[in-house]
Every structure is written in structure tokens, then in C-alpha cells.
Amino acid sequence: MADSTRREQTGPSGAKPVGVSGRQRDRYRDQPPIKLTRVPSRLRPADPVAVSQALERVLAAVDERAAPEAGDLRLLVRHYLALLATRAPGRSVEVRVPPYAAIQCVPGPRHTRGTPPGVVETDPVTWVLLSAGRLTWAAARDAGSVIASGERTDLSEYLPLGPAEGPEKKN
């Protein structure tokens, strides 16, 4: 009887639930333990086939001067931000691509609260074009499509992040 009482207190994996007590513990007893990871799933690189197809559709829409599908932009923005976070690990620059995602990257002094010392902000289409190599960092800055302020905000050494499908076009 003591053994079954102990099992109820610790759960099926033998680990004591953290921050859960009483009735809540009973509710979560049969669920597998949660595995914590460093990168949120929304910012992991996407499936290469899905990326290739979405990139093809977005670049075709841009070439036709049409609005790309929001789902394709969301997939590509998050994918390329995940690649940037891998290529330039750190926390000294925040790259914002509203409304889809923002990351902190680039080695340097780590900030702990508030806005980091460097901030880069751009729209989703510009981010995809930069990441795919269809637009250069200098051209985007000159056109005002990228707003970069603070230290270490020149991302040109990390771009492009992936190949562009179709004919090469750099502005």
C-alpha cells in the first residue's frame, strides 16, 4: 500500500510534479513529462520542401507585384529568423518582423531587461527577399525598408540565409 501511495504522489514517471498540487496533480498524472527545449517550436527551421514551395509562391507574387499569401510569409519569416538565430547566436540585437516574429541574435553584450541595444525592424516581404538573396542589405537600408538602430545591427555578414528560387534578382 505504501508503494501505491508513493506512486500517486510522484506520478507515473517517478518525478514529482513541479508547481502542481492536489486535484491538478491528479488531472496531469497520465500525461507524459514535458520536455523543455531552448528554441520555441514556432522558431525552428521549417520543412525544406514546404520552404521551397512557399518561397517559390512568394517570389512569384513579388515579381508580379501581387500580395503574397500570409501563410507563406509567416512560414518563411519564422524559418529564416530561426536560421539567423542559429547562424548568429547571441542577444545583443533584436530582429523584428511584425506581425510574425522577433528574435534576439548576434554575439555581443547581453541585455537582461527591456529593449536590446540594437534593433532591426522590417516588413515580412523585405525580410524574405533579404534572406533569400533577392535584395541586399545596403539596398534595403537605402530604400528605407529596413530600420536598424544601435550597435551590431548590420546583418549583411549573415545574409542571405538561403537560396532564392528562380532567376537571381538583386536590387
How far, in Å, CA of 120 to CA of 84, rounded? 13
Residues of the chain with pLDDT below 50 are: 1-11, 13, 16-18, 20, 34-37, 165-171
Q: What pLDDT, on the 0 to 100 scale, is given for residue 117?
A: 82
Judge: domain 41-149, CATH 2.130.10.10: no
Quick check: bond before 45 cis, omega within 30? Answer: no
Q: What pLDDT, on the 0 to 100 scale, is given for residue 162?
A: 81
Collapsing DSSP to helix, strand or coil, 26 comes out as helix
**pTM, whole model, 2 decimals?**
0.71
167-63-42 Cα angle (round to 5): 90
Domain regions of the chain by residue span: 1-36, 41-149
